[in-house]
Amino acid sequence: MAFPGVAGMRAGDQPERAVEAVLDRTRERTASLNQLLFGAAVVVMSILVATTPFPGDAALFYAAVVLVFLITGATIVIPWNRLPLPLLAAVPVLDIVAITMMELASPDTGLGLLWIFPAIWLPASFGVVGLVGGLVLIVGIYISTIALTQDHEPDFSTYLLVPVIVAVSGSSFLTARRAAAQRMLLDKQARLLGHALERTRRQEQIVTEVLDAVDFGVIRIETDGSISMANEAHDRLQQTLPQASEGGSPAFRQDGVTPVPAGGLPLERALRGEAFDGQIVWFGEPGADSRAMSVSARRLKDENGGEAGAVLISRDLTGELNALRARDELVASVSHELRTPLTAILGYIDLVIDDDRIPESARAKLEIAERNAERLLGIVADILAASSASQSSVELTITPDDIDIADVLRAAAESLQLRADERNVSFDLTGLEPAHAYADAQRLRQVIDNLISNGIKYNRDGGVVTIGCTVDGDSTWILVRDTGIGMTEEEAAGLFERFYRAESIRSSGVRGTGLGLAISRDIVRAHGGDITVRSYPQIGSTFVVRLPSTRAAAAPAPRVPPRDEEDAASTDEGVL
């Protein structure tokens, strides 16, 4: 859906053309209106002349009246706006001639007052030229008629008409100038408005084009809950959703089976004024047709900082989530299938090694085979533990006890010494303090082994792995620091995700599954603790593990959250 916008007009030139058209019409109407007004005055005058005794030449008067009617008719039928402006001056000039005829017909009746009409019109339509020309013409004609018609010496009142006409003509000129100035101002404002409209229209078009080009849905909701804007992708996404049944399309959390509680849908939350990130909702009954959407909401503020609605951004995650699910299922089933024959292989190797009849050379080789098979079994176990498909059924169990962390760290360092020597990496254990914790020693060893072996694996030749621990109130802290390749901030952000391996590591040939840290975090969290990392490229990485130091600090009872639940917690609130 495009934005509702200003009607598609060429805003820039439209007002200018409108002003031109208005000027044209004004010119045409000025001619006919002025003349009609004058005509009406002449009609009244004729009625007076016809009904009362007329002191003068009635024939000449009526000839003038006929002339006025003819001029009036002409002003109505002639399209003045298509003729050059000076031609329009013919109308008031002819009017002056007609009034002169009336004045000559009866010099003493004051018919010359009618000159006021052209005296007003001429300066209004033709400016200074109209003012000066009109006054010269009228006053000249008037004085001439006095000279021609008056047989006695004209007194003061005879000339009274002259200042009246000058005053009326002057004021008409000034009024017209003021009107013209106002029109110019209006014209300028119309032009400015036109440009502003054009700019707004162009910006609106750009925003619409950009929003319609992206593949995520964007809608804006107002404070009253109405949707004031939606881009094309939003409409497309809506069409892909399963058709709502009577009670509305069923919605489920990220796991695809837990229904979203009442009021927990993204739109409902946004309408309540919440802002959130990446809420994942499956729409439709679980099956081929259901679609997963990731929705984020942002609050909008008006210029005074008040509520101005919200923007909702939605993305179709169905493909990605289905792929992740398929991967987990595959990983889980392959790991299960591999485990059984591997256990059998290990069992038989054990049996053969225990047999005294096999030669020593064969025993050494069998021991190598056993070590590698055990390693393989370890990897398979890791993969199985990490796949969410298996996690939902097999919970990670821990059996915590009061243990000394320093002992566990020391034992781990000892067992990895050989590997460190191979890389010429040394251990710095000076930071080991007696530190008790309420933890499962076996599980914790898994975490520490992983951290130290990573410290060796991703170190430089001749580097150092610093291992330390301490207690601080309710928390026990473990630190594993290396002087290795380190990571960028972006790489560190994905570190604890399953199967994550930094881009630089993938191409380096260093072997790994990308599971160790994900499992380590699960184990530490199951204890009620956490694991964090600080890393700088080419300087090294520091992993810090926090554990509860006592049973009391470990409450509530530790357990591993199912992975879906954990992901939900890591996004926003629990509703997904």
Interface with ligand ADP (CB under 6 A)? 450, 454-455, 458, 482, 484-487, 495, 500-502, 505, 512-518, 541
- Give the Cα separation of 240 and 230 in Å (integer): 16
Least separation, in Å, of the C-beta of 205 and ligand ADP? Answer: 46
- Give the Cα separation of 288 and 16 in Å (integer): 60
For ligand ADP, the closer of residues 65 and 517 by Cβ is 517
Least separation, in Å, of the C-beta of 474 and ligand ADP? Answer: 27
Residue least distant from ligand ADP (Cβ): 512
- Give the Cα separation of 173 and 101 in Å (integer): 26
Least separation, in Å, of the C-beta of 423 and ligand ADP? Answer: 13
Q: Tokens 């009620």 label which residue?
A: 528
Least separation, in Å, of the C-beta of 567 and ligand ADP? Answer: 17
For ligand ADP, the closer of residues 116 and 386 by Cβ is 386
- Of 504, 492, 561, the C-alpha closest to 531 is 492
Q: How many CA atoms lie within 13 A of 443 on its CB side?
A: 24
- Of 385, 272, 260, 265, the C-alpha closest to 332 is 385
Least separation, in Å, of the C-beta of 569 and ligand ADP? Answer: 21
Least separation, in Å, of the C-beta of 237 and ligand ADP? Answer: 34
Strand order in the sheet with 276-283: 227-230, 217-221, 307-316, 291-301, 276-283, 251-252
Least separation, in Å, of the C-beta of 382 and ligand ADP? Answer: 8
Asked if 531 and 521 touch (Cβ cutoff 8 Å), the reply is yes
Phi-psi region at 350: left, alpha or beta (left = phi > 0; alpha = psi -120 to 50): alpha
Number of Cβ within a 10 Å radius of residue 568:
21
Least separation, in Å, of the C-beta of 300 and ligand ADP? Answer: 39
- How do beta strands 401-404 and 426-432 pair? unpaired
Least separation, in Å, of the C-beta of 361 and ligand ADP? Answer: 33
For ligand ADP, the closer of residues 286 and 378 by Cβ is 378
Least separation, in Å, of the C-beta of 401 and ligand ADP? Answer: 26
SS3 category, 232: helix
Least separation, in Å, of the C-beta of 352 and ligand ADP? Answer: 31
**Distance between terminal CA atoms of the chain?**
27
SS3 category, 75: helix
Tokens for 369, please give them.
């085979």
Cis amide linkage into residue 556, ω under 30° from 0: yes
- Give the Cα separation of 274 and 201 in Å (integer): 32
Least separation, in Å, of the C-beta of 377 and ligand ADP? Answer: 16
For ligand ADP, the closer of residues 360 and 489 by Cβ is 489
DSSP β-bridge partners for residue 499: none
For ligand ADP, the closer of residues 481 and 527 by Cβ is 481
For ligand ADP, the closer of residues 194 and 486 by Cβ is 486
Q: What does the H/E/C string look like for 306-328?
A: CEEEEEEEEEECHHHHHHHHHHH
For ligand ADP, the closer of residues 122 and 517 by Cβ is 517
Cα dihedral angle (519, 522, 523, 527), rounded to 10 degrees?
170
For ligand ADP, the closer of residues 56 and 455 by Cβ is 455
For ligand ADP, the closer of residues 31 and 480 by Cβ is 480
For ligand ADP, the closer of residues 467 and 495 by Cβ is 495
Tokens for 98, please give them.
């007609």
- Of 483, 501, 462, the C-alpha closest to 541 is 483
For ligand ADP, the closer of residues 444 and 505 by Cβ is 505
Taken in order 146, 149, 152, 158, the sign of the CA dihedral is: negative
- Give the Cα separation of 523 and 299 in Å (integer): 37
Asked if 317 and 269 touch (Cβ cutoff 8 Å), the reply is no
Least separation, in Å, of the C-beta of 535 and ligand ADP? Answer: 6
For ligand ADP, the closer of residues 216 and 500 by Cβ is 500
Q: Which residues contact 314 (CB under 8 A, 6 or more apart)?
A: 216, 217, 219, 234, 237, 266, 293, 294, 295, 296
For ligand ADP, the closer of residues 432 and 505 by Cβ is 505
Helix axes 516-526, 441-457, angle to 10 degrees: 150
